């Protein structure tokens, strides 16, 4: 291994209570909310089908013109308590909120920027209202923070001169100040999810990324930090030049998931995926017909897929400029919530089971309990199970206790019957097993 000053500072998973809670939460929601919700993907009469929160870039809008949108920021339908109730009903255990996206607009009254809610007609501290409302519902709050800031004159994409270096150091100090401000104002925050860290300017300042992780952990013991913040001495991101994960969990699975057979390496570390409901819209876009919109069933399968491989899943919501959610997102939250109400036992606190994936769906595991989450019931009406060597299946039952027949068909192979009554949707069978039998 090569020696690194700014590489991984720990090998293996964190085992403290705060990380255990992060892991056990399993299901989260993303809130992408900023000035971009006002134009919703349209600029000067042209609708852009790229990600709506990147409209400033697609339409080549100068920062000062873009930030004039602040004069229209007045979400009269915004109700933090209603947002928290919606999250509670969906069964999410945490919510990641965009404190500041690439545009530089801050959802909190930062004293280090003039582009904040305080300088809009709304005036009030939206982030503070949301932190309180979610926490009051027992939901953890995580902060999304974009290091890249299109509003700041000292931001640099690369460091090519002494002037660049001096300006970017001012920018890093500004960023430190905003992060300290967030950690001080909102001490119940449990996680920082950094984004906008791919530019050469940051990769050439790996020291700073290690400093930020340590600074936040000193201020908020137990806080978790995503791998996307980190760059090592040589600019390697997420995993250092020795292949060790930096930060507390891998955060590279954005709109994609590891393969349940070929990518089992991810089960060796903590990781969290995040997903959009349309093909690629994080912020509010007025026209979802421009791309495929995943059904609640397709969102649910991605949630189960992540947990089955020992990861978390964060489902994205892009609230409207008026502070309400679009009908499709309300319907999604309701559908997922109904399923979690009935079957959440196979998600919360669950992990990778270590059994060979079968075509009918996914396994999750919690201690001695192994769950079968069935998405694709076979024509044979038998769900084939292959157990690891020395593991026997003693009993199989639906979560309401009703048993289903299990027949051994070969060494470490079983047929589990489908329930007598068609469950009409993905369902769960809980297995009682004996290991080292
Ligand atoms: C690219 C990019 C960003 N990363 C996602 C989490 C969204 O914030 C998107 O704008």
**Quick check: CB of 195 below 6 Å from ligand 1?**
yes
Q: What are the residue ranges in the chain where pLDDT is below 50?
A: none
| Predicted pLDDT at 34 | 98
| Predicted pLDDT at 146 | 99
Position in ligand 1 atom list of the atom nearest CA 101: 8
**Quick check: CB of 253 below 6 Å from ligand 1?**
no
- How far CA 325 is from CA of 113, 129, 311, 379, in Å, comes to 28, 17, 27, 40
Position in ligand 1 atom list of the atom nearest CA 102: 10
| Predicted pLDDT at 249 | 98
Rounded distance between C-alpha atoms, residue 128 and residue 110, angstroms: 12
| Predicted pLDDT at 355 | 98
From 33, 436, 406, 7, select the one nearest 210 (Cα to Cα).
7
| Predicted pLDDT at 299 | 99
DSSP-assigned letter for residue 419: P
134 with 87: CB under 8 angstroms? yes
Nearest CA to ligand 1 atom 7: 282
Position in ligand 1 atom list of the atom nearest CA 254: 6
Question: Which pLDDT tens digit goes with each residue over 82-134?
Answer: 999 999 999 999 999 999 999 999 999 999 999 999 999 999 999 999 999 99
Task: Compute, in degrees rounded to 10, the torsion defined by CA atoms 235, 238, 241, 244.
Answer: 160
Residue 229: CB atoms within 10 Å: 25
Position in ligand 1 atom list of the atom nearest CA 54: 10
Say if pTM beats, i.e. exceeds, 0.95.
Answer: yes
**Quick check: CB of 30 below 6 Å from ligand 1?**
no
**Quick check: CB of 282 below 6 Å from ligand 1?**
yes
| Predicted pLDDT at 75 | 98
* Ligand 1 centre distance from Cα of residue 69 (Å): 20
Nearest CA to ligand 1 atom 9: 282
Position in ligand 1 atom list of the atom nearest CA 53: 10
From 323, 385, 315, select the one nearest 121 (Cα to Cα).
323
* Ligand 1 centre distance from Cα of residue 92 (Å): 20
Q: What is the ipTM of this complex?
A: 0.99
* Ligand 1 centre distance from Cα of residue 282 (Å): 7
């Amino acid at each position: 291994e090569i020696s690194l000053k700014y590489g991984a500072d720990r090998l293996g998973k964190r085992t403290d209570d705060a990380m255990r809670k992060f892991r056990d939460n399993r299901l989260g929601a993303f809130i992408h909310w900023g000035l971009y919700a006002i134009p919703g993907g349209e600029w000067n009469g042209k609708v852009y089908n790229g990600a709506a929160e990147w409209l400033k870039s697609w339409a080549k809008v100068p920062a000062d013109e873009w930030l004039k949108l602040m004069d229209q920021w007045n979400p009269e339908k915004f109700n933090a308590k209603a947002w928290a109730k919606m999250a509670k009903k969906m069964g999410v255990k945490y919510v990641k909120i965009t404190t500041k996206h690439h545009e530089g607009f801050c959802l909190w009254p930062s004293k280090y920027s003039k582009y904040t809610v305080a300088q809009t007609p709304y005036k009030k501290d939206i982030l503070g209202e949301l932190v309180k409302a979610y926490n009051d519902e027992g939901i953890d709050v995580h902060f999304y923070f974009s290091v890249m800031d299109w509003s700041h004159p000292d931001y640099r994409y690369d460091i090519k001169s002494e002037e660049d270096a001096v300006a970017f150091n001012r920018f890093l100090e500004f960023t430190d100040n905003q992060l300290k401000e967030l950690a001080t104002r909102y001490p119940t925050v449990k996680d920082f999810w950094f984004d906008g860290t791919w530019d050469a300017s940051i990769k050439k300042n790996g020291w700073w990324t290690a400093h930020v992780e340590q600074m936040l952990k000193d201020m908020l013991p137990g806080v978790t930090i995503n791998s996307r913040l980190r760059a090592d001495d040589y600019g390697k991101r997420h995993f250092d030049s020795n292949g060790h994960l930096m930060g507390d969990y891998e955060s590279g699975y954005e709109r994609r998931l590891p393969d349940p057979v070929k990518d089992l390496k991810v089960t060796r570390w903590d990781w969290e995926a995040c997903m959009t409901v349309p093909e690629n819209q994080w912020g509010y876009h007025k026209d979802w017909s421009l791309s495929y919109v995943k059904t609640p069933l397709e969102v649910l399968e991605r949630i189960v897929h992540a947990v089955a491989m020992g990861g978390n899943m964060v489902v994205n919501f892009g609230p409207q400029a008026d502070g309400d959610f679009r009908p499709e997102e309300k319907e999604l939250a309701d559908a997922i919530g109904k399923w979690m109400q009935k079957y959440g036992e196979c998600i919360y606190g669950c992990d990778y089971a270590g059994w060979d994936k079968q075509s009918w769906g996914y396994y999750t595991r919690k201690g001695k309990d192994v769950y079968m989450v069935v998405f694709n019931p076979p024509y044979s009406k038998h769900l084939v199970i292959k157990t690891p060597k020395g593991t026997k299946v003693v009993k199989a039952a639906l979560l309401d206790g009703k048993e289903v027949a299990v027949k051994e068909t070969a060494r470490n192979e079983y047929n589990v019957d489908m329930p007598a009554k068609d469950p009409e949707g993905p369902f769960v069978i809980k297995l009682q097993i004996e290991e080292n039998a």
